[in-house]
Chain A
Amino acid sequence: MELYYLTAHELGDLLQRKEVSAREVAESFLERLETVDVKVRAYLTVTPEKALEQAARVDAARARGENLSPLAGVPMALKDNLCTEGVRTTCASKMLAEWVPPYSAFVVRRLEAEGAVMLGKLNMDEFAMGSSNENSRFYPVHNPWDLERVPGGSSGGATAAVAAGEACYALGSDTGGSIRQPASFCGVVGMKPTYGRVSRFGLVAFASSLDQIGPITRDVTDCALVLQAIAGHDPYDSTSANLPVPDYRAVLTGEIRGLKIGIPKEYFPEGMEGEVARIVKRAIGRLSDLGAICEEVSLPHTEYALPAYYLVAPAEASSNLARYDGVGFGLRVEGNDIIDMYMRTRSEGFGAEVKRRIMLGTYALSSGYYDAYYLKALKVRTLIRRDFEQAFKRFDVLATPTSPTVAFRLGEKAGDPLAMYLSDLFTIPVNMAGLPAISIPCGFSQGLPVGLQLIGKPFDEETLLRVAYAFEQNTDYHRRRPELGV
Chain B
Amino acid sequence: MEYEAVIGLEVHAELKTGSKAFCNCTTAFGGEPNTHVCPICLGLPGVLPKINRKVVEFGLKAALALNCQVASFCKFDRKNYYYPDLPKNYQISQYDLPLARHGFLEIEVNGEKKKIGIARVHMEEDAGKLIHVDGSGGGYTLVDYNRAGVPLLEIVSEPDLRSPAEARAYMEQLKAVLEYTEVSDCKMQEGSLRCDANVSVRPLGSREFGTKTEVKNMNSFRALQRALEYEIERQIAILESGGRVVQETRGWDESRGVTVSMRSKEEAHDYRYFPEPDLVPLVIDQEWIEKVRRELPELPNSRRERLIRDYGLPPYDAGVITSSKALADYFDRAVALFPDAKQVSNWLMGDFLRLLNASGLEPDASPVKPEGLAELLKLQQEGTISIKIAKQVFEEMFATGKGARQIVEEKGLVQISDAGELAAIVEKVLAEHPQVVADYRGGKDKALGFLVGQVMKATRGKANPALVNQLLKERL
Contacts and interface: CB of A to CB of B under 8 A. Distances in A.
A83 B46 contact: yes
23 contacts: A89-B46, A101-B39, A101-B44, A102-B44, A103-B44, A202-B46, A204-B46, A208-B278, A237-B50, A238-B51, A238-B278, A239-B48, A319-B78, A319-B90, A319-B274, A322-B82, A323-B43, A323-B87, A325-B84, A337-B138, A339-B82, A370-B272, A374-B274
- Which of A101, A239, A325, A366 has the largest number of chain B CB atoms within 10 A? A325
Given A323-B43, A323-B87, A365 B50 contact: no
Contacts of B50: 235-238
A239 B45 contact: no
B274 A315 contact: yes
Contacts of A202: 46-47
A422 interface: no
Interface of A: 81-83, 89, 91, 96, 99, 101-103, 105, 200-205, 207-209, 235-239, 315-316, 318-319, 322-323, 325, 327-329, 337-339, 342, 362, 365-367, 370, 374
- Which of B43, B47, B270 has the largest number of chain A CB atoms within 10 A? B47
Contacts of A101: 39, 44-46
A141 B139 CA distance: 45
Contacts of A204: 45-46
Interface in B111-139: 138
B28 interface: no
Contact of A365 (B43, B44, B274): B274
Contacts of B465: none
Contacts of B87: 323, 327-328
Interface string B23-53: 0000000000000000100111111111100
A236 B44 contact: no
Interface residues of B, number: 31
B279 interface: yes
Contact of A322 (B84, B88, B274, B278): B88
B89 A325 contact: yes
Interface string B150-169: 00000000000000000000
A97 to B, nearest CB: 13
A328 B43 contact: yes
B80 to A, nearest CB: 5
B248 to A, nearest CB: 19
B219 to A, nearest CB: 25
Interface in B75-98: 78, 80, 82, 84, 87-90
> Does more than half of chain B's interface fall in helix, strand or loop, or is it mixed?
loop
A238 B40 CA distance: 13
B252 to A, nearest CB: 24
Contacts of A207: 277
A366 to B, nearest CB: 5
B336 interface: no
For the complex of A and B, the 3 pairs showing the least CB-CB separation, nearest first, are A322-B89, A208-B277, A365-B272
A371 to B, nearest CB: 12
B45 to A, nearest CB: 4
A367 B268 CA distance: 11
Contacts of A318: 80, 272
A95 to B, nearest CB: 9
B261 interface: no
B45 A319 contact: no
B84 A338 contact: yes
Nearest to A367: B270
Given A365-B272, A367-B272, 8 more contacts: A102-B44, A205-B45, A209-B277, A319-B90, A319-B274, A322-B88, A329-B42, A338-B141
Contacts of B90: 319, 322
B361 interface: no
A201 B45 contact: no
A328 B141 contact: no
Contacts of B89: 322-323, 325
A480 B270 CA distance: 54
B280 interface: yes
Contact of B80 (A83, A239, A319, A374): A319
B313 interface: no
Interface string B255-277: 00000000000100010111001
B143 interface: yes
B277 A201 contact: no
Contact of A362 (B143, B266, B272, B273): B272
B82 A323 contact: no
Nearest to B76: A238
Contacts of A339: 82, 266
Interface of B: 39, 42-51, 78, 80, 82, 84, 87-90, 138, 141, 143, 266, 270, 272-274, 277-280
A336 to B, nearest CB: 8
Nearest to A82: B46
A96 B45 contact: yes
Contacts of B82: 322, 325, 339, 342
B269 to A, nearest CB: 9
A272 to B, nearest CB: 32
A236 B48 contact: yes
A261 to B, nearest CB: 32
A365 B51 contact: no
B85 to A, nearest CB: 10
A328 B138 CA distance: 21
Nearest to B278: A208
A328 B44 contact: yes
A124 B138 CA distance: 41
A235 B274 CA distance: 24
Given A238-B278, A319-B90, A91 B45 contact: yes
Nearest to A363: B272
A308 to B, nearest CB: 14
B46 A327 contact: no
A342 B89 CA distance: 11
Contact of B46 (A105, A316, A319, A370): A105
Contacts of B278: 205, 208, 238-239
- Which of A205, A235, A316, A328 has the largest number of chain B CB atoms within 10 A? A328
A205 B46 contact: yes
A89 B45 contact: yes
Contact of A203 (B44, B46, B279, B280): B46
Contacts of A315: 274
B341 to A, nearest CB: 51
Contacts of B47: 201-202
A32 B301 CA distance: 78
Contacts of A235: 50
A401 B143 CA distance: 51
Contacts of B42: 328-329
Contacts of B273: 365, 370
Contacts of B44: 101-103, 328-329
Contacts of A370: 272-274
A316 B143 CA distance: 26
A296 B138 CA distance: 69
Contacts of A200: 48
Nearest to A337: B138
Contacts of B78: 319
Given A103-B39, A238-B280, A327 B84 contact: yes
A105 B48 CA distance: 11
Contact of B270 (A205, A323, A366): A366
Contact of A201 (B48, B51, B138, B274): B48
Given A238-B50, A238-B51, A238-B280, A323 B45 contact: yes
Contacts of A238: 48-51, 278-280
Contacts of B266: 339
A339 B280 CA distance: 33
Nearest to A365: B272
B274 A239 contact: no
Contacts of A208: 277-278
Contacts of B270: 366-367
Contacts of A96: 45
Contact of A316 (B43, B138, B277): B277
